[in-house]
Amino acid sequence: MPMLKYFSYSAYLEMYENTNGDITLVYSKGPHQVPEGEFGTLMETGRDASNGWSSFNQVPWYSNRNKVKRVVVYQYIQPYDMSAFFATLPYVTEIEGLNNVETTSCTNFYQMFYASPKITSLDLSEWNTKYVINMKEMFYSCSKLANINMSGWQTTDVTTMQGMFMLCKALTKLDLSSFTTYDTDDTQAMFRNCVALKTIYASENFTNRYITNSSNMFTSCSALVGGNGTVYDANNVDATYARLDTASTPGYFSIKPFPIAFNNGESNITAIYFNGQQVTSLYYNNALIFGKGYQPEITINITVTSTPPNGENYKVGDEIHYTISVTNTSVFPFYMGNCSLTSELTGDVWNIDSIDPGQTHTFNTNHTVTPSDVEVGSVDIKSGVSFDGYYYDEETGEKKYPNVILTGGNIIPVN
């Protein structure tokens, strides 16, 4: 049991009924906090909710669950236990005032949103989960829940996540990149029957090392694909694949991409920091783009823009017109300086001061068919096309040269 700071735990539930018979659940800091008539006629007052409810079928509104149409956290509350707090709400589409819930001292999230099938989105990113121990069946059977924002959640004390997202059939993506599972031993059926779930973002802190009960963890997650392309396999549904997907260790988790913005004119990137820690390697679409072994790429593409005057083959004296485009296809902004593009066939040399990531320079040129070309029977317009340019190594600062990929530029038949 974690040591907690002193808090005055306060959370009260009142139920109101309007003229249509619909019920509103109102959480507040104490009884009689709501102005008369705001939510209808008061049905029940001042029920202490600071310790939650023991299970979904023990909630005070269970017998009237089909009449509950609205849930409001009216005031700032500090529950110690949130078990079944918003459970069994078959006709509620959203919960108002979730930002009024202070969870710093909360230890139990058991069945919190259990069987609330019409809720579509939850933003819980402001919640402090540092002392939570139990997340069992928290979102169980929230079948239309498509978005859950849990960014920044700390799960260092959580021991069970059993059935946490089970039957969340509308989820396509989950961001668990802040989750830590060093104390978690139970993930049984955690994602079971999340049939649309394709991507789970996680980090190396979501480890399967200490999990002892994980049967059916991924059962029926048939859309799931790991970050390195590993697809769902019905023979691997326990915690074995609850890890980042790499070439050497297949798994169902992906590294979450994050945007990086650089100022214009940056010429020599030597280090990247993320969340206060230095990044030693950076990947984009599973390709290394920063770190030891990274080599930027330049792509040269040649495209013929003319047709033979006779509509068939080029002959002596005919001009073959084409473009040569050079693109910095690197996604990391290494400076490419003193660049030039050369075509030995045409004798052209184009100087380029610099070429930024994603930038393309295109040049027009032509070649006149010669008798020598006719003797060979063709013209290779790629022949002698080359790029010269350098970048600075991010670790040593040394000048190095990019990998050049040449595409297009078919061999043109002549006669």
Q: Where are the domains of the chain?
A: 1-119, 140-256, 297-413
> Are the C-beta atoms of 242 and 206 separated by less than 8 Å?
yes
What CA–CA distance (Å, rounded) separates 266 from 394?
12
For 190-250, the DSSP string reads TTTT-TT--EEE--TTS-STT--B-TTTTTT-TT-B-TTSPBP-TT--SGGG-SB--SSS-
If one compares 392 and 62, the residue with the highest pLDDT of the two is 62
CB-based burial, 256-267: b 16+ in 10 Å, e otherwise = beeebeeeeeee
In percent, how much of the chain has pLDDT > 70? 84
Between 177-186, 227-236, 298-307, 381-390, the lowest mean confidence (pLDDT) is in 381-390
Amino acid at 61: W
Rounded average pLDDT over 93-103: 96
**Burial code of 148-162, b = ≥16 C-beta within 10 A, e = fewer?**
bebeebebbbbbbbb
3 state DSSP class of 75: coil
Is residue 7 very low, low, confident or very high in pLDDT (cuts 50, 70, 90)?
A: very low
The pLDDT-based confidence of 399 (bands split at 50, 70, 90) is confident
What pLDDT does 362 receive? 93
The mean predicted confidence, pLDDT, of the chain is 87
Write out the DSSP string of 259-293. -----TT------EEETTEEESEEEETTEEEEETT
pLDDT of residue 394: 54
Show the CA angle centred on residue 317, arms to residues 315 and 320, nearest 5°.
75
Mean pLDDT across 18-39: 93
pLDDT digit string (tens) for 279-325?
A: 555 555 555 555 555 566 788 999 999 999 998 889 999 999 999 99
Each residue of 110-128: pLDDT tens digit? 999 999 999 999 999 999 9
Q: What is the pLDDT of residue 31?
A: 87
6 has a pLDDT exceeding 60: no
Whether 212 shows a pLDDT value over 90: the answer reads yes
Distance CA 72, CA 39 (A): 10
Q: Tell me the β-bridge partners of 44.
A: 15
∠ CA 52-81-49, nearest 5°, is 35
Q: Which of 168-172, 211-215, 404-408 has the lowest mean pLDDT?
A: 404-408
> Does residue 1 have a pLDDT over 50?
no
pLDDT of residue 351: 85
| 229-248 b/e (C-beta count within 10 Å ≥ 16 → b) | ebebeeebbbbbbbbbbeee
Q: Is the pLDDT of residue 359 over 60?
A: yes
Question: What's the pLDDT at 297?
Answer: 79
Instruction: State the Cα–Cα distance between residues 79 and 404, nearest whole angstrom.
Output: 61
Q: Are 58 and 45 in contact (CB under 8 A)?
A: no
pLDDT value, residue 268: 44
Which amino acid, residue 49?
A
Structure tokens at 150: 């849990």
Provide the whole-model pTM: 0.65
Give 328's pLDDT tier (boundaries 50, 70, 90): confident
Q: How does pLDDT run across 52-74, given as a tens digit for each residue?
A: 999 999 999 999 999 999 999 99
* Dihedral of the alpha carbons of 396, 402, 403, 409, in degrees to the nearest 10: 180
**Residue 147, pLDDT score:** 96
Instruction: Note the pLDDT of residue 45.
Output: 74
Lowest mean pLDDT among 194-208, 299-313, 326-340: 326-340
Question: Would you state the structure tokens that stand for residue 63, as one six-digit string?
Answer: 């017998």
Classify domain 297-413 at the CATH class level: mainly beta
Model confidence over 139-167: pLDDT tens digits? 999 999 999 999 999 999 999 999 999 99
Res. 257 pLDDT band, cuts 50 70 90: confident
Q: How confident is the model at residue 79, as a pLDDT?
A: 95
Q: Is the pLDDT of residue 392 over 80?
A: no
pLDDT of residue 292: 52
CB 253 within 8 A of CB 201: yes
Tell me: pLDDT of 329 over 80: no
